[in-house]
Structure formats: C-alpha cells, structure tokens
C-alpha cells in the first residue's frame, strides 16, 4: 500500500494594474486576454474534476481590473484600445497610428503555439513580414479587411481551449478563416464580455462548493519585505548595492494597508476574508510574517530557497529535501498563529517550464512518479504535504492547446490515485490533528526566516541593479512628497483617495521586475514608460510638479532584444 500524500496546488492569478487613471484607458490588454484564455480554462478543468481540490490565489488588483472590464461591456464604453479596434465600425478608415498599434499588438504572441498552428493567421503574419521589409509605404497597401481579419484572429488565438470547445461561435469563425465582417467581430466582442463577466462567479461557486480555497495577496502586489526594510535584501546578498534612500518611508504601514485592503476586497467579492495569503512573489521575512499574523492570517507560503537559506542559518547542515521540505513551519518567536508552507520548486517549475514540451500523458505520469518518490523518502509517521505553487496563467501559452491535455491527464490521474489527497491550506491548518497527529506532517519550528522570494530565494529580481535601484529611489521620493502633502491637509478627501490609489499602483512589485537586461527590450521600454507615467500622475494628483527625471527612461540598457526572464510574465 502506498504511503498517503497531502498535495496542494496553488494557482496564482495576477496581472499588474494596466490602467491609466488619468484617462481611464487600459494601456496593455493582458488582463482581459488572460481572462478569456487562462482564467476560463483553469475554472473549466476544476469544474470537470470535482474531486481535485486546490487553492486559487487572486490578487485584488486583478479582480479590480476584471470588474472594470465588466463595467465597460455593460455600458458599451470600451476603454481598452484593442477592444475598441475590434469593435470599430469602419476599420478601413483607421489612421496610420491606429494601424501601427494593431500590428504591434496582434503579432506579439507566442508564434509557435498561437500563430503558426492556424494557417489563416500564419498567412497574415507572412504577408506582414514580407511587406515590412519595404517599409511603411508597402504596409499601407494592406486593406481594411486585412486589419479586420488580423484583429479577429488575434482574439480567436487568445481564446481558451474550453472556449473553443464550448462556444459554437468560435468554431464557426475559425472555420470561416477570413473575410470577417463587422457582425462577426461584434459577436466575438460580446462573447469576450460574457467570458470576463463569468470569471468571479465561477470561482466563487467553486469555493462555495468546497472544492477550492480562495486566497489573496496584499492588494496591489507590493514586495512587502523590501517596503518594510531594503536591508532585508542583504540577508542573502550581503554585497548587493541598495537604493540611495535608506528605506521606503513608512513602509510597514503601507504593507498593512495593502493587506487590509485585500481582506476587504475578498470579503466583498467572495463573502469572507481569506484565511491565508500568498505574499507577492512569495516574498517573506520574519517581519512580514509578523505583520500577516497580526492581521489574522492563518497561513502564508514561500519558495523552497527561502526555507533552505533559513535552515542553513539555524543549523550547520541541511538534510535531504524529503526530510525538511514537505511539512509546515512556525516561527519560534512572533507570528505564532501562522503556519508557513514552502513550494517544491522542482515540481512547480516542471509544470511552469518543462512539461510544455512533453506529451500530456507522459508529463502527468512523471509528475505522479515524483509524488510517489517523495512519499517513499519522507520521515516515518508523517504524511508529507507537497506544495506546488505557480502562476495560473503564464505557462499555458507554451503548451499545445493551452495545456488542455496536460491538465486533463494530470487531474484524471490524481483522481484515480487515492493515496494522493489534494487539499487546501485552510483545511490543513484547521485540522485538529495538524499539530500532533500521525496522519499529518508534524509542525516544525524555525528560529528565524531569512528574507527572500520564490525566485532564487532572494530579491535580485527586484533590487540591487542600477536600474532597479533608480526606480526605488524615484518611488521613495514620490512617497516622501505624498506624506508631506497628506499631512498638510490641503487635499480634499476625494483628492487624498485618488492620490493613495495612484500610490498603491506605483508600489507594485511588477515595475521593478521588468528593469534589467534579461528581459525583452520592448517589454522593458513599455513598463519603464508606464511606471514613470504612474509616478508623474501621482505628483499631479498631489498638485506638485513632477521631477524632470521622470521624462527620461530609467533603464539605460533597454533590455535584451529577445531575452526571457526568470519568471514568465504576461507580455511574453
């Protein structure tokens, strides 16, 4: 008889805030594109496999944007430029600037998985590539019908596999292949609105049925340990250069504000506050855990590298993975009501980066074999708890059919292996036997958590390089101005709220992730511009002149033309 295993899937759903608050427009389309592709598909697979349980982590700023889109469709006032192009009544009258916008947007996909498989879409790409060699004059010969077909195919390719299987409209349009009319595009637009509107209700029902736990992240996805203390980066990287600013002004208060806002968001949307949180980027420190525990979080999670670094600090040698990784931990001092779980980096990265190249059935079987090996190697008398934590959207465009066959095989195989018990962190921490029973992994203690994230176990992705540090210093200067103006009392309540919302967006970890020469240059430039635009808007809301340096790019190198980052993001 095989030894039982507790298995937790945590699917992390996140997109940074792509809204320009001054205009109301969305400057990038990734939120609604991932909604019609990944958030729909992930709900579909869970609905088809009710015996599989999971944690689904929604960052509140993603939900804010989804509800914003729902409002746009309800009123017919589209504030996403790409959706406006799809809905355009006479696409033959587009300006040169609008045409270039469509070219830039509609060929920015994974060509291998999302363009080439569709002959009509591939033909559009080949024609564009051929004419582009002769410059803008040659591209001007592309007709309005070409632009209509390009916009339609782009959105068809971004439809999830479940959407293709369940909606006749998508199958009909894909069969039509070309010559799409305005009515075709209007019907596709209506379907997009319907899909987005169903996201939150579908996941809420899965939670109400007891199949999933809905967890959250501090509202705008801030990197909490760095907001609290820049020096925490040196716990793993002692020689790392830090920003010129000694610390982020009142950073601990800002972390608390993001946590409380997230709890309120969760309560309004899902009927209850979250039991636990996945901190942005799995980034934790002892102080961060103290703050989470003080805000009544029962659990948090992070990366395997953080646990290894913490164990190395408290003991001379670290045992085999199976002897330490697959159990919950509690700090010896502080955060005593909070359990911390640590991600199996290897298993999570197999799904995130490797299995996309495998046959779905082979990948599922290999995954189960890894779980069985963990069970065999775990300490006697303990049921290991295996945490598989990864982005719930970004991997699937690298899989054939958006990961459909892999996820179907994986969930089906898990359901047939009764020694694997999929569970949620909430159910685990509320079990009466968690602290002492032989049916669960025994809670172990850590004297201290070495600050780090789920990427390399450190913060090198967000701080330590000249560009990243420059961005932090710009944010610190803006925060000092924010504190000064707010304390002066010269803004009305509505003006204060608008300024704080803008500040929250600027505090997201995503801006700092993008700076660096390991990311594609077009993405670096796009996020560089958006970050500086957000800071500029903050100064204007504070009724202050923006500093001159906000008009100059932060990233001096501009990124690598074709590089990929440590963690895949929406724009790739």
pLDDT tens readout for residues 301-330:
999 999 999 999 887 678 889 999 999 999
Q: What is the pLDDT of residues 122-146, one digit of tens each?
A: 999 999 999 999 988 999 999 999 9
**482: pLDDT confidence band, cut at 50, 70 and 90?**
very high
Do both 193 and 273 map to the same domain?
no
Residues in the chain, total = 572
**Range 427-447 average pLDDT:** 72
- pLDDT for 435 beyond 80: no
Do both 230 and 368 map to the same domain?
yes
**30: pLDDT confidence band, cut at 50, 70 and 90?**
very high
Do both 414 and 265 map to the same domain?
yes
CATH of the domain at 315: 3.20.110.10
- pLDDT for 561 beyond 50: no
How would DSSP label each residue in 205-270? HHHHTTSEEEEE--TT-B-HHHHH-GGGGGGT-TT----SSSS-TTHHHHHHHHHHHHHHHHHHHH
- For residue 6, the model assigns a pLDDT of 97
**Range 217-227 average pLDDT:** 98
Q: What is the dihedral of CA 284, 287, 292, 296, to 10 degrees?
A: 150
- For residue 433, the model assigns a pLDDT of 53
pTM: 0.95
**Listed residue (9, 2, 27) closest to 537, CA to CA:** 27
Q: Give the percent of the chain with pLDDT over 70.
A: 95
Domain total in the chain:
3
- pLDDT for 560 beyond 60: no
Q: What is the pLDDT of residues 77-89, one digit of tens each?
A: 999 999 999 999 9
- For residue 431, the model assigns a pLDDT of 85
Do both 423 and 306 map to the same domain?
yes
- Angle of helix 144-157 versus helix 119-132 axis, rounded to 10: 130
Do both 420 and 276 map to the same domain?
yes
CATH of the domain at 480: 1.20.1430
Alpha-carbon distances of 406 from 351, 365, 411, rounded to whole Å:
9, 10, 9
Task: Specify the pairing of strand 276-277 against strand 299-302.
Answer: parallel
**Range 188-192 average pLDDT:** 98
Do both 265 and 405 map to the same domain?
yes
**523: pLDDT confidence band, cut at 50, 70 and 90?**
confident
How far apart, in whole angstroms, are the C-alpha atoms of residue 244 and residue 242? 6
Alpha-carbon distances of 85 from 99, 155, 177, 235, 556, rounded to whole Å:
9, 11, 19, 49, 33
- For residue 521, the model assigns a pLDDT of 82
Do both 483 and 393 map to the same domain?
no
């Amino acid at each position: 008889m095989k030894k039982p295993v507790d298995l937790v899937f945590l699917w992390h759903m996140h997109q940074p805030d792509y809204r320009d608050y001054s205009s109301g427009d969305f400057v990038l389309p990734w939120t609604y594109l991932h909604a019609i592709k990944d958030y729909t598909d992930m709900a579909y697979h869970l609905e088809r496999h009710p015996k599989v349980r999971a944690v689904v982590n929604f960052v509140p700023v993603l939900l804010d944007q989804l509800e914003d889109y729902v409002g746009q469709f309800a009123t017919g006032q589209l504030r996403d430029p790409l959706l406006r192009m799809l809905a355009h009544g006479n696409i033959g009258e587009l300006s040169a600037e609008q045409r270039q916008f469509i070219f830039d947007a509609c060929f920015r996909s994974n060509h291998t998985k999302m363009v080439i498989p569709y002959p009509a879409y591939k033909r559009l790409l080949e024609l564009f590539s051929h004419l582009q060699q002769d410059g803008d004059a040659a591209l001007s010969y592309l007709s309005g019908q070409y632009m209509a077909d390009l916009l339609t195919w782009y959105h068809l390719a971004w439809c999830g596999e479940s959407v293709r299987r369940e909606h006749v409209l998508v199958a009909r349009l894909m069969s039509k292949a070309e010559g799409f009319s305005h009515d075709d595009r209007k019907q596709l637009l209506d379907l997009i609105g319907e899909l987005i509107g169903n996201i939150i209700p579908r996941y809420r029902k899965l939670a109400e049925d007891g199949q999933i736990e809905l967890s959250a992240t501090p509202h705008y996805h801030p990197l909490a340990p760095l907001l609290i203390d820049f020096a925490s980066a040196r716990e793993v990287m002692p020689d790392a250069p830090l920003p010129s600013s000694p610390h982020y002004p009142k950073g601990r208060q800002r972390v608390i504000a993001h946590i409380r806002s997230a709890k309120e968001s969760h309560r309004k949307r899902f009927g209850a506050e979250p039991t636990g949180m996945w901190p942005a980027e799995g980034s934790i420190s002892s102080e961060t855990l103290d703050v989470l525990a003080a805000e009544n979080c029962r659990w948090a999670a992070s990366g395997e590298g953080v646990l290894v670094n913490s164990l190395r600090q408290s003991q001379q040698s670290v045992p085999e993975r199976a002897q330490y990784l697959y159990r919950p931990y509690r700090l010896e001092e502080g955060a005593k009501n909070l359990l911390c779980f640590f991600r199996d980096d290897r298993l999570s990265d197999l799904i995130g980066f490797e299995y996309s190249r495998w046959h779905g059935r082979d990948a599922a079987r290999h995954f189960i074999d890894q779980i069985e090996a963990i069970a065999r190697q775990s300490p006697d008398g303990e049921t290991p708890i295996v945490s598989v934590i990864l982005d719930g959207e970004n991997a699937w465009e690298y899989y054939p059919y958006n990961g459909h066959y892999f996820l179907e095989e994986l969930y089906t195989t898990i359901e047939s292996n009764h020694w694997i018990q999929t569970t949620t962190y909430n159910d685990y921490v509320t079990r009466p036997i968690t602290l002492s029973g032989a049916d669960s992994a025994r809670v172990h203690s850590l004297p201290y958590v070495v600050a780090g994230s789920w990427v390399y176990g450190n913060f090198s992705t967000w701080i330590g390089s000249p560009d990243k540090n420059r961005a932090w210093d710009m944010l610190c200067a803006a925060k000092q101005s924010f504190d000064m103006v707010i304390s002066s009392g010269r803004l009305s309540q509505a003006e204060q709220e608008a300024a704080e919302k803008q500040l929250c967006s600027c505090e997201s970890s995503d801006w700092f992730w993008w700076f660096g020469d390991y990311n594609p240059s077009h993405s670096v430039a796009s996020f560089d511009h958006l970050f500086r635009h957000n800071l500029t808007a903050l100064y204007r809301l504070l009724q202050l002149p923006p500093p001159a340096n906000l008009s100059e790019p932060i990233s001096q190198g501009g990124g690598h033309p074709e590089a990929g980052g440590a963690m895949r993001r929406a724009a790739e």
